[in-house]
Structure 1
């Protein structure tokens, strides 16, 4: 049954805003945790614990964790792109670039999704989407131009861009080869796929982690990342999604970069420049243009 915006309860709409806060505050939390935990190990811990927790939640709900053989390959590919690539690229992005800039560059995701959907799915590129792509590219130019002029463009922002591209490619894979399974089951396997990739990278590049005492802020940041930004956020997402239109839920994520930039300013002491704010506004408008339904679009 189609869910309309007017039929959604205020409590469910509030859940969309809570999700944006959960994910927005996750950016400084990750930055703090990476001060003492190496990136491969950090992602291995977070994705493994979150994947196991969601799998247990799926079983408690009575969902089956099995998928058909023909769905295994696209499920793993989507997990590698949407979870492993996205999270690992962002971990290195935050190590090498200011969090406020990394979050803005990463949230060009809808722009790349539109471009890849045109290339790989032959989806039409209407005027609304073209405006969104143009605004997104203008936002990137606004962010990059002063950095290029001053020679301050670093590889961290390239990692952030790769994270957004990886997520967009994963969304195209998910759309091209949809999985006939419960959403929590799909999310669980994708997280565990990302965890397996992170564990492999950890063993290859960092070795078996050696326990050492961590600062209280690091422990709290890690707990927030796993418990709130991954487990609770996923469970909340799947709890409210049946009660609000997907478009409304997606538009709610537009608050994430603004919250990420604001929280990085308050918690990390970062000071975004005027061009950072211009880039944030342009990229937010780009996502808004892409995510808003077209007036001529047929009802779902």
Structure 2
């Protein structure tokens, strides 16, 4: 047995022991930080799109994040290259659940308020159900079906004529793009579950972000070359926040949480992200919180939480 295999075996045993021991209060504080920072990022991204095109912002964010994660490699001791045989698939998954998700959500944010945008993006769990059935042959349990129906009911309420102006093409395009964002995220997550990966978590994260950046940079240059960028202090602050806090720090905390608790348990806490974004959007963008919106959020939130509890 090679030294690498021995280290890998010891690492796996360490992770199992950590999960059995359970998380300490620091991990819950870090998850609360993820909820706050990811929730706050939706209104911040809306603010940034005043000064920069959606794909350009996405490209800058991806490049900056890739550089910041690469800078962590010597500290966290992870390789930048995935294992042979896994590089192409990790890149494809990254294009779907990182590049596609970010790009579509940024474009949709031009037409939709950040609170609504975040809620629609987190309907990913609903779309993952039929994709899991088609691509993985996953069994649809009663709990999975109930979760999907709750989420779908919330989406239907969210799209009723009292909340969406069906005569406004921009509103329809924006909401449609955010549904597309959720589907792209769900497809990437479903493909990720098709196999057991030997590549370390941080290497996968870097490779997905880097692959998305390689595609997003020329795409932004091609489609938004005539869109002026106004380099303001607020834009630079939001870019720094996205690269260092919303991605670098939060993914680090997420990785630490997954080392001591099941992903389903951590996922239930992260389900609070769209609720946080909606409340912050209501506070800073005067996004209405009428009965229809609250009912829709309650249904979608219930579906997300129920889906996260499925083992």
Q: TM-score, normalised by structure 1?
A: 0.91
Alpha-carbon spacing, 1:223–1:65, altered in 2? closer, same or farther (3 Å): closer
Q: Deviations over 1:35-60 (max 9, x none)?
A: 10111111111111111211221232
How far is 1:76 from its partner? 1.3
Q: Is the 8 A contact 1:75 1:179 kept in 2?
A: no
How far is 1:24 from its partner? 0.4
The reply on whether 1:28 has 2:46 as its aligned counterpart is no
The residue aligned with 2:167 is 151
Q: 1:64 aligns with which of 66, 72, 79?
A: 79
The residue aligned with 2:126 is 111
Q: Is the 8 A contact 2:51 2:230 kept in 1?
A: no
The residue aligned with 2:61 is 46
The residue aligned with 2:182 is 164
The reply on whether 1:9 has 2:24 as its aligned counterpart is yes
Q: Is the 8 A contact 2:52 2:229 kept in 1?
A: no
The residue aligned with 1:95 is 110
How far is 1:264 from its partner? 0.9
Unaligned 5+ segments in structure 2 are 1-15
Unaligned 5+ segments in structure 1 are 295-300
The reply on whether 1:270 has 2:287 as its aligned counterpart is yes
User: 2: CA distance between counterparts of 1:178 and 1:84?
Assistant: 22
- Number of residue-to-residue matches in the alignment: 293
Moved more, 101-110 or 25-34: 101-110
The residue aligned with 1:298 is none
Q: Is the 8 A contact 1:12 1:244 kept in 2?
A: no
Q: Is the 8 A contact 2:63 2:213 kept in 1?
A: yes
Aligned to 2:199, the other structure's residue is in SS state coil
How far is 1:225 from its partner? 1.9
User: 1: CA distance between counterparts of 2:68 and 2:278?
Assistant: 29
The residue aligned with 2:302 is 285
User: 2: CA distance between counterparts of 1:34 and 1:269?
Assistant: 18
Moved more, 124-133 or 147-156: 147-156
Q: 1:224 aligns with which of 241, 263, 268?
A: 241
How far is 1:269 from its partner? 2.5
Q: CA RMSD in A?
A: 2.0
Moved more, 231-240 or 116-125: 231-240
Q: Deviations over 1:97-124 (max 9, x none)?
A: 1112111111101111122111110111
The residue aligned with 2:153 is 138
How far is 1:177 from its partner? 3.5
Alpha-carbon spacing, 1:178–1:49, altered in 2? closer, same or farther (3 Å): farther
Aligned to 1:123, the other structure's residue is in SS state coil
How far is 1:4 from its partner? 5.1
Aligned to 1:69, the other structure's residue is in SS state coil
Q: TM-score, normalised by structure 2?
A: 0.88
Q: 2:269 aligns with which of 247, 252, 255?
A: 252
